[in-house]
Structure 1
Amino acid sequence: MKLNCVIIDDEPLSQDVLEDFVKACPELKLVAICNDALEAGAVLKRESVDLLFLDINMPRLSGIGFIKSLKEPPLVILVTAYPEYAIEGFEIEALDYLLKPVAFSRFRTAVNRAVERFLAKEEKEVKHVMVRANKKNYRINFNEIIYLEAQGDYVRFVTEERALMVHGTLKEFLEQLPSNQFERIHKSYVISLGKVVYLEGNQVKLGEYKLPVSLSYKDVLNEKLKL
């Protein structure tokens, strides 16, 4: 397990220190280093991020203001030179509050808290979808799904064991699936990113299946497959 993390800090020296610390922790994967909150906002729109190492006092938009602007913010560890901001850290439910200069031992403690919180959150999260087909209710685990195909007023769920025709729309079912695991590739197809074998031209290979990829979805799919 690795937590995708982003460093948001406008000080190059602090960025370097945090980057070295992140690389020393096998549980962490550095997705990006951002100079301000606005740059970080763009990263969050295209990447799946689990944890932020966030400076508070930054130009244009403070770290606190940035977190408050997010509908579903990732886990947050505040990193700042100003101890007076500690109370504001509680307001956004920050996991920890690190004062610069940060010692690695203190950083390591904060990372342990993040890992524990993430695992606890995962245990509570729904990992399946319930569908009705053939007058029966089926539980389909997310990790069993290969792809979904729209067919008129129905959606065909193709899993490792079976294929089920379920009444509904692709959009409705896509909203029930985790965005970091599934992606729309065509007006008629949603795929499991974890099942992708390769992408070639305008086709994607998933196990024994080859599906078309629309040009309008190809860039997003390429970005997701880099994770």
Structure 2
Amino acid sequence: MINYSYLIVDDSPSDATILQRQLAQITTLKQVTTCGSIEEALAFLLTQPCHLLFLDIKLSGQSGIEWLRESPNRPPVIITTNYPEYALDCYDLDVVDFLVKPYTTDRLARSIHRALARPTAERTIQSQSIFLYVNRKLQRFNFNDITHLEAIGAYTKIHTVDGTYSTSESISMVEARLPQSQFLRIQKSFLINLDKLTMFEHRAVWIGSVKLSIGQQYRETFSQLLRGRSKKGNHSEIEG
């Protein structure tokens, strides 16, 4: 059974409590987190998986609709609001459902069922990607789009198939949130996506035309992991 994680974003503590109580009556519930602002929600999504997001429209001067417009890659969203006039705007933003307060637990349950009935790949996008701060905004990076990461002092440069970005998080902080089966440290300053290797040898790897040396203390771990992947047919071209 999937350990579902739900996030409530509502600046009304009483409304959030009512929703929590309703969710507690639904058997698919596993974990519920409540945030009172968009900033809190972004901080949560930066580090935690989320299968379903319950979002109020007006949040102490902030606009849930504007957030949706700026965040195309996000968990499925159910709107919970006192403002029915925003329904059309929200459906244009591909929300799962639009609930006008107060709503019944049965109505809420139908919305959740609709959300979780979406294709698995759509519901689990969070587990295939990572949120990182870029230019003071959270940006989602799909694991498969990242080629390698480079430590630049306390910052990290993210090299992707589409370009290069910089985040204020250290490379160790980013590494802790990446899948170990796919990403490997090859020296103090470099972390590579093993699926992007095009060639490697004992002391160096190539990602396209980029050559990176393997630190001595990392060579044995690298060799062991590559041998394991080679047995599964996932190895890249081997040079001498």
With the length of structure 1 as denominator, give the TM-score of the two structures. 0.55
Shift of 1:21: 2.1
Corresponding residue number in structure 1 for 2:158: none
> Retained in 2: the 8 A contact 1:154–1:168?
no
Shift of 1:29: 3.3
> Retained in 2: the 8 A contact 1:22–1:29?
no
CA deviations on 1:54-106 (whole Å, 9 max, x unpaired) are: 11122231111122222512110000111111011112110001111110000
> Retained in 2: the 8 A contact 1:150–1:156?
no
Q: What amino acid does structure 2 have at the position aligned with 1:12?
A: P
Corresponding residue number in structure 2 for 1:4: 5
Relative to structure 2, which stretch is displaced further, 42-51 or 72-81? 42-51
2:181 aligned residue (145, 161, 164)? 145
Question: Can you give the 5+ residue segments of structure 2 that lack an aligned partner in the other structure?
Answer: 129-142, 145-178, 195-199, 211-216, 220-240
Distance 2:93 2:71 in 1: 11
Q: What amino acid does structure 1 have at the position aligned with 2:82?
A: A
Corresponding residue number in structure 2 for 1:176: none
User: Cα distance 1:146–1:86, how it changes in 2: closer, same or farther (>3 A)?
Assistant: closer
User: Cα distance 1:25–1:150, how it changes in 2: closer, same or farther (>3 A)?
Assistant: farther
Shift of 1:38: 2.2
Shift of 1:116: 0.6
Shift of 1:36: 1.9
> Retained in 2: the 8 A contact 1:22–1:30?
no
Distance 1:40 1:14 in 2: 17
Corresponding residue number in structure 2 for 1:116: 117
Corresponding residue number in structure 2 for 1:14: 15
Matched, 1:40 2:41: yes
Corresponding residue number in structure 1 for 2:175: none
Distance 2:185 2:46 in 1: 25
Distance 2:206 2:80 in 1: 46
Distance 1:155 1:70 in 2: 27
Question: 1:181-200 alignment to 2 at 5 Å?
Answer: none
User: Cα distance 1:154–1:25, how it changes in 2: closer, same or farther (>3 A)?
Assistant: closer
> Retained in 1: the 8 A contact 2:51–2:124?
no
Distance 1:57 1:124 in 2: 26
Distance 1:88 1:50 in 2: 22
Shift of 1:41: 1.6
Question: 1:52-131 alignment to 2 at 5 Å?
Answer: 52-119=53-120, 121=122
Q: What amino acid does structure 2 have at the position aligned with 1:108?
A: A
User: Cα distance 1:146–1:68, how it changes in 2: closer, same or farther (>3 A)?
Assistant: closer
With the length of structure 2 as denominator, give the TM-score of the two structures. 0.52
Name the SS for the 1:117 alignment partner. coil
> Retained in 2: the 8 A contact 1:38–1:61?
no
Shift of 1:28: 3.1
Distance 1:188 1:102 in 2: 56
Identity %: 28
Question: Can you give the 5+ residue segments of structure 1 that lack an aligned partner in the other structure?
Answer: 130-142, 158-164, 173-186, 190-227
Count residues in correspondence.
153
Distance 1:33 1:123 in 2: 20
